[in-house]
Amino acid sequence: MLIANCSSAKKGKSDYVEVKKISYKTDIEPIIANSCTPCHIPPQGRKEPLESYDHVKTNIGAILERVQLPQDNRKFMPPVNKKPALTADQLAVLIKWQQQGMTE
Ligand code: HEC
């Protein structure tokens, strides 16, 4: 389902990101589940849990910071030798979700 969201539409990114209302269940959870397991789901040791809407919403600032670091920074997420980095589209979806107010 596509819902136009003209107010915050930005030029330059893919059409998917421009027109779609991003929601946690539909768009964000699959990205986190794909790229941040098994370390954060279930949370292992002292790692930040990212297994629910509330966890991800609360940590969106730290998440966006980590995934946008240079990949040779040892704080880059997901760790380079474990999982492929997020794609530009996945990153754009995360950013858009934050800008849109983080719908569940
Ligand atoms: C292979 C295991 C692994 C994967 C996969 C992984 N992480 Fe992490 N993450 C860690 C570890 C270990 C730490 C704690 C060390 C550190 O802060 O760098 C951490 C720390 C973090 C922190 C800092 C938490 C805090 O308390 O400040 C964030 C945010 C984070 N990860 C986000 C992510 C995101 C988002 C993904 C998926 C895109 C991801 N991680 C994938 C292992 C992982």
Q: For 15-61, write each residue's pLDDT tens digit.
A: 555 568 999 999 999 999 999 998 998 767 777 889 999 999 999 99
CA of 78 to the centre of ligand 1 (A): 6
Length of the chain: 104
> Would you say the pTM of this structure is higher than 0.95?
no
Cα(47) to ligand 1 centroid in Å equals 6
Q: What's the pLDDT at 12?
A: 52
- The mean predicted confidence, pLDDT, of the chain is 86
31: closest CA among 94, 79, 77? Answer: 94
Report, as an integer, the average pLDDT of 67-75: 97
Query: Which of ligand 1's atoms lies nearest the C-alpha of 38?
Result: 5
Given a contact cutoff of 8 angstroms between Cβ atoms, the answer to whether 13 and 92 are in contact is yes
Q: Any idea which residue has 């990153």 for tokens? A: 91
- The reported pLDDT for the residue numbered 20 is 80
How far is ligand 1, taken at its centre, from the CA of residue 60, in Å? 12
